[in-house]
Amino acid sequence: MRFRYSIFFAALLGVAAIPARFAMAAPQDDLKSVLDRLNTSAAKFHSAEASVEYDTIETDPMPDTDVQKGMFYFERNGKSVQTGVHFTEHDGKPSGKAYTYVGGVFKLYEPSINQITVHSGAGKYESYVILGFGASGTDLADKWDVQYLGSEDLSDGKSTVKTAKLQLIAKDPAVRKNVSKVVIWVDPDRAVSLKQVFTLSATSTWACTYSNIKLNQKLPGDAFAFKTTGKPVIQNQ
């Protein structure tokens, strides 16, 4: 299983951004202000629902972009999190693929081959999953070396939001082997990301954009589950 599936359970990790104004890098005390605001907003965060688009971009040996769209669900209860993604479109064609992350187990359902891939060791990445939704400034600073790159105005599907653009370098060398850096565009007053870009290699990136974000509302009963047909093949990782 490719690492990006493990870090997303969302996100995995996670609206297409409109052209935005880029601000010059700001002093360190501006980073502190962003992290402090995230600490305040994260304390009020419980759940999120959003439209999501994941773009996997390869530049070598042959340029290629893989686009998946669907609905994203995220819930946090104390330190426990669960995520579900239900895809509706893959490269312009209908899709029934789904991801779930519940109880430390990540599952990928691919109806085209009627297979469920189970990654039982996904719990070790849980602290990275929350980097975009409900993560406090303390959470980010604990796992990542954080650099403030300025602010950008992005569309969230309803209005324009002034986001803080943060570059994250994982402190864990094992994570850095798979993801050299992550850039997130976060709304510090809601503790949500509108956009995340994972640099997986010199030729591969994974971009996640979120729109129409709804916070702390009742989620669908099947948000963290998926329906299968027949008897799917179980592939354990």
For residue 219 the two structure tokens come to 């989620």
Model pLDDT, residue 89: 96
Phi/psi of residue 36, each to 5°? -65, -40
Model pLDDT, residue 68: 94
Provide the number of structural domains found in the chain.
Answer: 1
Instruction: Please report which helix (H) or strand (E) contains residue 57, including its range.
Output: strand 47-58
Query: Where is pLDDT greater, at 19 or 155?
Result: 155
At 160, which CATH number? 2.50.20.10
Confirm if 52 and 13 have CB atoms less than 8 A apart. no
Instruction: Please report which helix (H) or strand (E) contains residue 33, including its range.
Output: helix 28-42
Q: What is the pLDDT of residues 107-116, one digit of tens each?
A: 999 999 999 9
DSSP label of 91: T
What percentage of the chain has pLDDT greater than the value 70? 86
Model pLDDT, residue 171: 92
Amino acid, res. 110: E
Read off the pLDDT of each residue in 170-189 and give the average, rounded to a whole number: 91
Q: What is the pLDDT of residues 196-233, one digit of tens each?
A: 999 988 999 999 999 999 999 999 999 999 999 889 99
Please give the distance of CA 175 from its chain centroid, rounded to a whole number. Answer: 16
Residue 4 pLDDT class (50, 70, 90 cuts): very low
Cα–Cα distances in angstroms (integers) from residue 140 to residues 34, 36, 101, 123, 208, in the given order? 11, 11, 20, 17, 18
Instruction: Please report which helix (H) or strand (E) contains residue 83, including its range.
Output: strand 80-90
Q: What distance in Å separates the CA atoms of residue 189 and residue 186, rounded to the nearest whole number?
A: 9
Q: What is the pLDDT of residues 14-46, one digit of tens each?
A: 322 222 223 334 445 599 999 999 999 999 999
Domain that holds residue 64: 3-236
